[in-house]
Each structure stands twice: as C-alpha cells, then as structure tokens.
Structure 1
Amino acid sequence: MPELLRRGRIDITGRLVDASNATLFGTVSADGVAVKCVYKPVRGERPLWDFPDGTLAGREMSAFLVSEAAGFDVVPPTVLREDGPFGPGMMQVWVDTDDEREFVDVCSPKKVPQGWIGVLRARGDRGEPAVLVHADTPALRRMAAFDVVVNNADRKGGHVLAGTDGNLYGVDHGLTMHVEDKLRTVLWGWVGQPLPGDVVEALEKLRTELDGTFIDVLGEHITRRETRTLSARVDALLADPRYPEPTGYGPAIPWPAF
C-alpha cells in the first residue's frame, strides 16, 4: 500500500471543507489498482503560533512511522509525496467508516452506553446536562497511549474512526511531536491506570527502534530536539507505565471536541 501511495497517479476529486488545513480527497492508482486517499499539500497548511510553518505534513508522517515501529497500528498508511498536484504534501489512505460503530460521543448522563467512561461533564445550548464519554476497548487504550507518545495536541472525537474492516484508526496527526507537553485529547478515561501489557511491549519495541537507525528516519521529518523529546516520553512511560493525567498548564481537551 505505501508503494502505491508513493508511485501511483493522483486524481483529486474533492475537498473536505470542514478541515482547518487544505485537505483534498481523491484516488491514487497504478497497474489497475486504485485506492481512495487524502492529500494535504504543505502549501495549504494554516499558520499556527506554536507549530512552525510547513511542518504539519512531516509530523503526520512521523506519527505513522512511530505507530508502525511500535506496532500500535492506529494510523492509516501514510507517505510524503513531492510531486503532488499542488506540490509536496502528505498522502494517506482514506478510511471507510462503519456508522454503526462509535467510540466517542456526547450524550445525556442518563444515556451513557454500558461500559463507557465519562470524561467531562458540561451543558448543552439550552442548559441541559451532557457528558463527553468514550468506549473502553483494547484498541482505544492503545490509541490513547499512542497519543501520549507522539504528544498529540488534537485528538478530537472525529479523529477516531471505526473502519469497515473492523480496525480502529486515528487521523489528523499534524499537531504532534512538539517538544512542549501539548497533549489534548478526548481519551482521558484511564488516567492513573496501568498501561496494558501489549502497550508496554509496544513501548519497549519502540525504545529499541529509537536506539537504532529509526531515529535517523524520523530525523528526516522532525527536528533532533523533537526526536530526543520523543525518546524521553517513551522512557518516562516505561519508568512509570501508567496513563498520565493532564498537566494543568493548558487545555486538556481540544476545541471543538468533535
């Protein structure tokens, strides 16, 4: 799949108008095989005060590489294309979603699905009580740990996708890998709880990879300081293998949450 994304012909058919940065939809094809894809050109990135201009595509790529190296497997296949129709940018396989499967929701406190975890209490437009909740599944626990590792500043509910293939995917990882703690997520339900055994194994695998040539691969997309900080986050989680709590130095949940 990555090879098809890297070498295939790109045909743009539309744009996701709700995205804050230019996000184009289309297909990439080669040798009679075609897949739907998302293409985010660097030139369409909206400037952010805390993330350097032109770096979001590299951060998306880094998040995919970390997911693969650790075995989290939560990010769809992703590549960087220098020859995109609007210049260099990130290209990622489009995830077809199963509308019958949800993992994050805002609902009445009386309608929280059985087994789900409450994260935040709030009130709706008319003052009615509401609660932000998410499911409690092994796949979602892995995603929450992955977000800590990559320092995800934008895990909205809409960035958690239930694929029609039965897998769980996370998308929109342009706001990751910052050297400052910027974790903002809707997946706070396990604060203080021990990391599952498979997550610890993934962290150990990633730690080994970071001691080898993988650190140089990441260095093609993020700065040396950012790779060192990534390694430090992995070390901290292995030293204290629990889900962290919000630092209190900034918003803990992205806005909007969806």
Structure 2
Amino acid sequence: MSAPERIPPRSMTAAELLAEGELTVRGRLREASNAVLYCTVAREGQEVACVYKPVAGERPLWDFPDGTLAQRELAAYEVSEATGWQLVPPTVLRDGPYGEGMVQLWIEATADAELLALVDGEEPEPGWKAIGFAEVGEGRTALLVHADDERLRRLAVLDAVINNADRKGGHLLPAPDGRLYGIDHGVSFHVEDKLRTLLWGWAGDPLPGDAVEVLEGLQKAMAPGGALAARLSGLITPAETDAARARVDALLASGRHPEPGGEWPAIPWPPV
C-alpha cells in the first residue's frame, strides 16, 4: 500500500488532522494479532494515511486488562513527546467506523535500512551490538545483532520507561527522512517488570548524557501534579503511573541501561 503525500507545512498538525479528519477504512493488515485497519483521514483538502486499531478488535490478554491497549499506545506517544525525541508517530484516541480506537500516522518505512542482522562469529563487528545467539537451522546458530545507532539507543531508553513487553524488529520503522519510529506499544506500562526487547546491546552500559537529561525532565513531568502525569491519568491506572515514575527514578539512580531481570523472557517471540 502506498501512502498519500505527507502533510504540507501549515497550521494543522498531524495529530489534529488524525483527531478531526474524516476517517475512511481502506484495508486490513492481516498479519497483526489484533484488528489493525489501514485508513486515510482527510480534512480541508489534506489527506494522510494512518492505522486505526479499534478497541473492539483487541484480543484479550492474560496479563493486561481487556480493552486498554489503545490507551497504552497513546500513553507511549505522550511519553515519547515529553522526551522531545519524537520516537512514536503522532497518535490519538478517537471514534471511528468500529468504535473508539487508536489512530496513528502511517509511516512508510525505508526497506534498505540495516538495523538488525545475523552474523557468524562470537563477537559483533564495529558498529553493531550483540543481542544473543539464535537458531538458524540444521543445528547451526548465528549471532543476532542490532546497529549501534543513537536512534535505537533512545528507543531502548523509552522502552525501559514504558516497560515495553514487545519490542520486535518489525516494530522499528526507519523513515526516508532519517528518523526512526517505534510502533505497537499496546503491551506497555505494566506494573510488573515485563521488558522484552531486541535492544539489549547496551544492557549495563552507562546512560549517555542526553538520556540522563531527558530522564530528569521526565522525572519532573511525571511527578504528582506534573503535566505528563496529568495526561497519563486518563490512559493508565494510578498504579501504572507510579510504576513508570519508579522506573525513571531507578534509571537515574543507577545511571545505566537496564539488564534482563531473569524472571521474564528477555527477547520477544518471534523476534522480528
């Protein structure tokens, strides 16, 4: 599917267009586990492609409350915006043809971006970080690596804050303009440690200075009465907000990227 032209620079933001435009369903992404509809949204001569995930199409999960995935997607966007890194595409909650759901700007990913790879050997080459060994058939294993990329590192920090339980390779969208987006954050913000990600290459490493500054800003914004805490209050529970705040505090206290806890599978399946 090819996306319509991006929004030309003017007063209406992408989020405003997503929230206020006429939403038209064009197709369905059938490989998704929940209902994911490819749509366009149009208003005042502007049109963009988007993804619409109606709450009614969410598959129940054993460890997350029913009907909350769309709100968690928006909560992840709110945290991303608060970092200033803009790692999550513009996202809104709104009514649609199948009821309330999450609507997110469609990102046309660059096909030739090299973010993940399987390589021979025990150690990654320069410019890559090791994730772990993977079965590749016929009793062989290969080293799974991800790029040593600042954009991925920022996503790793965001995932640690929101407790993302499903950071797969297919959820990484490098855009033609050089930006990198993360999508599919419906299983985030659990009060228990459920961080599952392919971005373990920096586990235990000191956080870079810009990440520390961002986390300090989040700490203030997520404090009781803070602007981000207020935005999250209608999307996740008070206990989940408290847990996210505690994760920010823990990251700042340690000054390091988190490491796998050992009580939960560290890498999502399938990984891509």
Structure-2-length-normalised TM-score: 0.91
Secondary structure of the 2:78 match is helix
Superposed counterparts of 1:77-88, under 5 Å: 77-81=90-94, 83-88=95-100
Q: Distance in 2 between matches of 1:105 and 1:43?
A: 36
- 1:24 is matched with 37
- 2:264 is paired with a residue whose SS is coil
Instruction: Give the Cα separation in 2 of the matches to 1:19 and 1:125.
Output: 26
Which residue among 165, 171, 180 is the counterpart of 2:177? 165
Equivalent position to 2:59, from 21, 24, 46: 46
Report the counterpart of residue 3 of structure 2 in structure 1.
none
- The answer on 1:146 being equivalent to 2:158 is yes
Deviation at 1:17, TM superposition (A): 0.8
CA distance in 2, matches of 1:197, 1:203: 10
Pair 1:111–1:191, CA change in 2 (3 A): closer
| Alpha-carbon contact 2:109-2:176 (below 8 Å) kept | yes
The 5 Å alignment of 1:1-258 reads: 1-81=14-94, 83-109=95-121, 114-211=126-223, 212-258=226-272
Counterpart of 2:96 in 1: which secondary structure? coil
Farther-moved stretch of structure 1 (145-154 vs 122-131): 122-131
Give, in whole Å, the separation in 2 of the partners of 1:105 and 1:34.
36
SS of residue matched to 1:88: strand
- CA pair 25-239 structure 1, distance change in 2 beyond 3 A: same
The CA distance in 2 between the partners of 1:230 and 1:69, in whole Å, is 14
In structure 1, runs of 5+ residues without a counterpart are: none
State the SS of the aligned residue for 1:106.
strand
Helix, strand or coil at the partner of 1:105: strand
Mapped partners of 2:132, 2:262: distance in 1: 15
Query: How much identity, in percent, do the aligned residues show?
Result: 55
> Residues 163-216 of structure 1: CA distance to partner in whole angstroms, max 9, x if unpaired?
112100000000100000000000000111111111111111111111213212
Q: Render the CA deviation track for 1:81-130: whole Å, top value 9, x for unaligned.
A: 1x211100000001111111121233444996641112111221222222
Q: Matches of 1:107 and 1:4 in 2, distance apart?
A: 43
Q: Contact between 2:38 and 2:50, CA under 8 Å: does it hold in 1?
A: yes
The amino acid of 2:92's aligned partner reads V
Structure 2 portions without partners, runs of 5+: 1-13
The alignment covers a number of residue pairs equal to 257
Letter in 1 for 2:38: F
State the alpha-carbon separation in 2 of the partners of residues 253 and 75 from structure 1: 21
* 2:123–2:130 CA contact under 8 A, matched in 1: no
Residues 157, 186 of structure 1: 8 Å contact kept: yes
Structure 2 vs 1, CA of residues 87 and 204 (structure 1 numbering), >3 Å: closer, same or farther? same
2:87 and 2:220 mapped to 1: Cα distance? 20
C-alpha spacing 1:233/1:29, structure 2 compared with 1 (3 Å): same
Offset at residue 139 of structure 1 (A): 1.0
